[in-house]
Amino acid sequence: MSSSLKSSDKTLDLLRNSSACASGVSTIMAALDIFQGNPTPTLGSSSGTSVSSNGDTITFSGTGTLDKTTVDPYSSDKNIKNVIINGYEFIDYYAFGYGWQFLTLTIDSVKTIGDYAFNECESLTTINLGSVESIGEYAFNECESLTTINLGSVESIGERAFYSCKSLATINLGSVESIGEYAFAVCKKLETLSIPDSVITIGDNAFSECTALKEITIGNSVTTIGERAFYSCKRLTTISIGNSVTSIGDTAFMYCSILTTINLGDSVKTIGDKAFMYCLILTTITLPNSTETIGERAFSGCESLTELAIPDSVTTIGDNAFAVCKSLTELAIPDSVTNIGDNAFGWCTALTTISIGNSVNEIGDNAFGGCTALTEVIISDATAKQLNSTWSSPSPVSYSFYGSTYTVRFILP
């Protein structure tokens, strides 16, 4: 044996026999044992931590933080199927992330799970979170075998916490208050979702591309639905939004192509750009009396929309807001509306009658362009004069009603 190896062995013996180092060396020694070829880590304690094994179950007990250094020596043991964590308050960042192959996780007394703590634990099927209050970013990201979650006392779910948990079919959100960006995105087995009254914020992309999701009920404490929150939930048919929601983010329900029923509650003020774009079989939308702004392309491409009631609270209809709503036949724009954007109702090819309120002072280019069935535009004399005084073209027909020039007639009450 070479002198360097003999020297290393003596050093290891000294470390093992040194009482001065005993309290802090067991974790280091476990790692060294693995390095020397021993496949089974030595169980022991480190900094108040005790680790015990019973068959295919390993239990970590201690206080404070369960750190990655304590956990790492056991990560390669493929015989471990169950992990129990007792007594700690915090599970460290990356503690069990990558490579672990256990099936069940039971947590007791922990308050916070750190970022990436169980990231890509692909064999994990069952979680008991105990009294956990906060789940960090990417904490259970891509745990592809996880089927059910009961979040119990959890208050905050971080960004991508359960992203791409592709087998996740059931979520109980318990008392959650905040759902982070992409928190449950690409959970492709999730079919129904009830967001409780405790939830205040739904982050951007929170449930985007949950392609099996059919029904959503949003509780009465949510104030904001983030951008792309339910983007491309292609099997979604029904949405019920609570009465506290004031803002629906851009593209929030875009490409929900078989959505048939929407209940927007009674507090929505702003419908974001492209919020319901390409909801292809949506037939009816009732906007609440709180609605003030309809964003650009908000309902563009809703080809089956036949009924639209715009309430007296709306002041702005954005560019392309209802463009290519090919089944819409009648339209009444209330007196509250001051601005109709470019191409707002462009290519609504079944639209025959339009009534424009008395407060409109700007109608954008091609606002009703391509409405080839349009025969009547009912507009007051005062509004017509106001529009003519601000139009950049010789007559309103030239731009706003382009494509309808030969059939449209104006009725001035």
DSSP calls for 232-273: T-TT--EEEE-TT--EE-TTTTTT-TT--EEE--S---EE-T
Q: Which amino acid is residue 162, in one-letter code?
A: F
pTM of the model: 0.82
Whole-number pLDDT of residue 377? 86
Whole-number pLDDT of residue 28? 39
Percent of the chain surpassing pLDDT 70: 82
The C-alpha R_g of the chain, in whole angstroms, comes to: 30
Question: What is the C-alpha to C-alpha distance for residues 311 and 121, in angstroms, rounded to an integer?
Answer: 50
pLDDT at 383 over 80: no
pLDDT tens digits for range 97-106: 887 999 999 9
pLDDT tens digits for range 320-348: 999 999 999 999 999 999 999 999 999 99
Q: Which two tokens stand for residue 342?
A: 């470019």
pLDDT at 403 over 70: no
List CB contacts of 328: < 8 A, sequence separation 6 or more. Answer: 305, 306, 308, 322, 345, 348, 350, 351
Residue with the bigger pLDDT between 23 and 92: it is: 92
Q: Which domains does the chain have, with CATH numbers?
A: 321-413 (3.40.50)
Contact, 341 vs 296, CB < 8 A? yes
pLDDT band at 388 (very low <50, low <70, confident <90, very high): low
